């Protein structure tokens, strides 16, 4: 619950049921007796038609409610019912709240009561992810509303006696309000982890990590290992999975080692940093290969890949499914079809796509993954999916990279961590994967709209973009390193320090780990706060003149 703010004269706080009668009485005095908006009644109480859906802030002085304001988030808004859908009038990509029933007793209208109420209700809804306020402003106070940054839209509504102008205000304009109105409040500061790794971890997974360790040689460990193997295969629609201690780099080294045993040429497709890293894996393993590149942020050139496979008589094809550096999702069906046409083995890096989108590895020979990204567990387990359980050990490759040897040892050739395994198994069990895929798709689309409406460009076009990895190009003149550092100081973890991001002045927001929906809705506001901070410091205007009048609206 929001902590009440104690002022010198009173308290502004969220209302409780005990305040209902005082709210109805103030509502009557303001919108029946003073502004003839509703019919009078003998009880001298007016219950708003949306009372049960309203969130009220009240100003209490010596036990008396002398001011109130409310916000309502349920659609349709009252303005929807009067104008039709108000979305047609509003900036795109925003999450609006309707501010209503602002009322202050006449003797307190020259005080700070109005400022305290407006600042409090604004902070409340900003903290809950809303970034656009709409209202019906009385035509008696249009000058004041415009002074605060409100924009008029649509025709006048109401009657001759009670005429109103629909208006909206954005979060960016709220952030530039002077301290007299904002009351020194900070933007929502709970923060969230939107890194590609390490990702946000749920409480249950953290607790699993803290349980007592068991030997990797015990039957209990092997039983747990087999259970997690099956969970991984079910999630990826894969035939087999082997887990080793290590990172995604180890998983790709294991794949490269298996490709070396084919003793045949291959093609590597790359359209980003991690595609280029596959090239580096192949080069270090001395694999004969041809590289087909596409510009970073573009889809792969499947025609060029087909031609390279044909001209080089390639026996294998290696690519990244979810390119973390750019947020591109490459076409798995197109890649596997090319491999099948050329009777070649398909190897795939699914490190950033497993757990973010539905995935089937049925037609993939070998694929690399990790525990610490979208599987929402701790880093430290390298995962290799493979289509055959009968891999053969080989003394021609390093012992730790020998997948065949690991398979012969039932996946546990060397020391493994029961804590990491337990945490991964817990995460795989607790997540409703179909629901998660739907949520990430919805959240990703919403984040994309919010960022584009603020002048940020998403590098990957929507038709080949990952819903979970958003590589963002800032508006002209913005320095991502400064923005990233300020966001981190406020508790918002985003990616900007990798060399490939720093070199290009890119920011990344990733929806891979555990995060609260409210935090995602609030993130664009945090970004607004950072962007607006400099201009806010320069616009130190006073609120004395504006707050001397009472803006009333219904």
Greater model confidence, 250 or 182: 250
% residues pLDDT > 70 (the chain)? 90
- Whole-angstrom Cα distance, residue 503 to residue 519? 28
Strand extents, DSSP E, 105-203: 132-138, 151-152, 157-158, 163-170, 192-193
Last residue in a domain, options 413, 430, 447: 430
In-domain check, residue 183: no
Whether residue 269 is found in the same domain as residue 123: no
Whole-number average pLDDT of the chain: 88
Beta strands 366-370 and 192-193, pairing class: unpaired
Strand extents, DSSP E, 253-398: 266-270, 289-293, 316-320, 322-323, 328-329, 345-349, 366-370, 381-386
Last residue in a domain, options 414, 430, 446: 430
Whether residue 121 is found in the same domain as residue 263: no
Which burial class, exposed, middle or buried, applies to 526 when counting CB atoms under 10 A from its CB (0-12, 13-18, 19+)? buried
Find how far residue 449's CA is from the centre of its chain: 12
99 bridge partner residues: 71
Q: How confident is the model at residue 490 (pLDDT cuts 50, 70, 90)?
A: confident
The whole-model pTM stands at 0.69
Q: Which domain holds residue 473?
A: 436-518
Q: How confident is the model at residue 185 (pLDDT cuts 50, 70, 90)?
A: very low
Whether residue 117 is found in the same domain as residue 263: no
In-domain check, residue 525: no
Asked whether residue 550 carries a pLDDT value surpassing 70, the answer given is: no
Whether residue 444 is found in the same domain as residue 400: no
Judge whether 528 and 186 are in contact, CB under 8 Å. Answer: no
Whether residue 258 is found in the same domain as residue 395: yes
- Helix, strand, or coil here: 159? coil
Where do the H-state alpha helices sit in 265-364?
Answer: 273-284, 302-312, 332-341
Q: How confident is the model over 304-313, as a mean pLDDT?
A: 98
The C-alpha torsion from 489 through 490 and 493 to 494, rounded to 10°, is -90
Q: What are the backbone dihedrals phi and psi of residue 475, each rounded to the nearest 5 degrees, phi first?
A: -60, 155
């Amino acid at each position: 619950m929001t902590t009440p703010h104690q002022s010198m004269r009173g308290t502004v706080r969220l209302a409780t049921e005990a305040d209902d009668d005082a709210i109805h009485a103030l509502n009557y005095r303001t919108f029946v007796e003073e502004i003839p908006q509703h019919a009078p009644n003998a009880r001298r109480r007016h219950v708003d038609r949306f009372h049960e859906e309203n969130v009220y802030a009240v100003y209490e002085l010596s036990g008396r409610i002398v001011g109130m304001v409310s916000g309502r988030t349920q659609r349709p808004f009252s303005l929807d019912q009067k104008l039709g859908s108000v979305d047609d009038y509003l900036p795109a990509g925003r999450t609006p709240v309707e501010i209503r029933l602002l009322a202050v007793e006449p003797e307190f209208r020259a005080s700070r009561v109005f400022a305290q109420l407006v600042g409090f209700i604004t902070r409340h809804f900003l903290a809950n992810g809303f970034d656009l306020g709409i209202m019906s402003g009385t035509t008696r106070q249009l000058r004041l509303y415009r002074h605060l940054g409100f924009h008029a839209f649509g025709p006048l509504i109401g009657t001759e006696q009670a005429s109103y102008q629909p208006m909206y205000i954005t979060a960016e304009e709220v952030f530039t309000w002077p301290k007299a109105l904002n009351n020194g409040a900070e933007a929502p500061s709970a923060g969230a982890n939107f890194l590609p790794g390490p990702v946000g971890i749920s409480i249950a997974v953290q607790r699993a990590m803290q349980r007592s360790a068991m030997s990797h040689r015990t039957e209990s460990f092997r039983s747990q290992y087999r259970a997690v193997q099956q969970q991984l295969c079910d999630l990826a629609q894969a035939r087999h999975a082997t887990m080793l201690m290590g990172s995604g780099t180890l998983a790709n080294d294991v794949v490269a080692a298996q490709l070396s045993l084919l003793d045949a040429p291959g093609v590597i497709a790359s359209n980003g940093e991690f595609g280029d890293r596959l090239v580096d894996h192949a080069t270090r393993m001395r694999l004969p290969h041809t590289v087909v590149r596409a510009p970073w942020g573009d889809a792969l050139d499947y025609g060029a890949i087909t031609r390279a496979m044909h001209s080089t008589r390639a026996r294998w094809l290696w690519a990244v499914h979810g390119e973390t550096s750019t947020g591109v999702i490459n076409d798995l069906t197109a890649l596997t079809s090319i491999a099948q046409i050329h009777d070649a083995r398909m190897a795939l890096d699914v490190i950033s796509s497993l757990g973010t989108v539905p995935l089937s590895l049925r037609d993939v020979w070998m694929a690399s993954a990790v525990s610490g990204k979208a599987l929402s567990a701790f880093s430290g387990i390298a995962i290799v999916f493979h289509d055959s359980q009968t891999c053969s050990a080989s003394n021609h490759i390093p012992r730790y990279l020998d997948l065949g040897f690991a398979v012969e040892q039932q996946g546990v050739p060397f020391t493994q961590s029961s804590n990491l395994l337990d945490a991964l198994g817990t995460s795989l069990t607790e997540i409703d994967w179909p629901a998660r895929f739907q949520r990430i798709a919805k959240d990703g689309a919403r984040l994309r709209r919010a960022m584009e409406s603020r002048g940020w460009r998403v590098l990957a076009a929507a038709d080949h973009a990952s819903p979970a990895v958003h590589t963002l190009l800032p508006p002209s003149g913005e320095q991502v390193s400064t923005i990233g550092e300020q966001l981190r100081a406020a508790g918002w973890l985003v990616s900007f320090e990798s060399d490939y991001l720093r070199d290009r002045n890119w920011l990344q927001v990733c929806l891979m780990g555990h995060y609260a929906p409210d935090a995602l809705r609030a993130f664009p506001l945090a970004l607004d706060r950072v962007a607006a901070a400099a201009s806010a410091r320069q616009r130190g205007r006073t609120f004395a003149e504006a707050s001397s009048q009472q803006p009333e609206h219904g």
